[in-house]
Amino acid sequence: MAGEPAFFEIGVEDPERGRAFYGALFGWDFSPGPSGEGGSIIGTPGIPGGVGKIQALQR
């Protein structure tokens, strides 16, 4: 079907806490991301995803 999501990404300030939160909430599994910068690939039963650190906005 056209227009279906193919991937999603969640930006968090603290990737470790993000993994703990979303893992407990949704039962997701995480594996290290390809960048080696603390991001993770999210294992879901449906759409693949990722979680990674967001950069703070400087004012």
| Mean pLDDT calculated for residue range 50-55 | 88
Higher-pLDDT residue of 40 and 59 is 40
Band (2; pLDDT cuts 50, 70, 90): confident
How does pLDDT run across 4-51, given as a tens digit for each residue?
889 899 999 999 999 999 999 999 999 998 877 788 999 888 888 999
Say if residues 9 and 51 touch (Cβ distance below 8 Å). yes
Which domains does the chain possess?
Answer: 9-53 (3.10.180.10)
Q: What is the pTM of this model?
A: 0.76
Band (58; pLDDT cuts 50, 70, 90): low
pLDDT at 20: 96
**What are residue 37's phi and psi, to 5 degrees?**
-110, 25
